[in-house]
Amino acid sequence: HTEDELFRSSHSNPGKSLVNGIKTNPASSSPKSSLPVPTGPPVYVDLAYIPNHCSGKNTDPEFFKRVRASYYVVSGNDAANGEPSRAVLDALLEGKSQWGENLQVTLIPTHDTEVTREWYQQTHEKQQELNIMVLASSSTVVMQDESFPACKIEF
């Protein structure tokens, strides 16, 4: 299909849409669908938020192979829902090990959780080998009678 044909077919049939140039049915689309992931070079960014509060539902080693960030933010703080997920933190190590270049990566957890503490302690040697630094935050923000941890990022 040409771009014009794809545009017309996606707009002439409102029950269908395009995902990465492939016609799909939105009702059946999901992040872990059986659609092939298009190949291509990785994307380099300064800062990436790990999707879905670092839940294993949407993030796997492929994310870290394809999205190469100087800083990754981990915002999960819900152990009952597996946030953050140990599997996702391990996926960062697996994905980064396949980059082929040892760029500095900083992981920024926005909450102090048991999962992140255990992962940090158990994989510290691997983190050093892969040039991954984990920031700890002792900063606190106070707003309208609430206080919560904060991280400051400077570029």
- Summarize pLDDT for 62-116 with one digit per residue, the tens: 999 999 999 998 887 777 776 688 999 999 999 999 998 889 999 988 888 888 8
Question: Rounded to an integer, what distance in angstroms lies between the CA atom of residue 22 and that of residue 25?
Answer: 10
The phi-psi region of residue 79 (left if phi > 0; otherwise alpha if psi is between -120 and 50; otherwise beta) is alpha
The phi-psi region of residue 93 (left if phi > 0; otherwise alpha if psi is between -120 and 50; otherwise beta) is alpha
Question: What pTM did the predictor assign?
Answer: 0.65
* pLDDT for 132 beyond 90: yes
Confidence of residue 144 (pLDDT cuts 50, 70, 90): confident
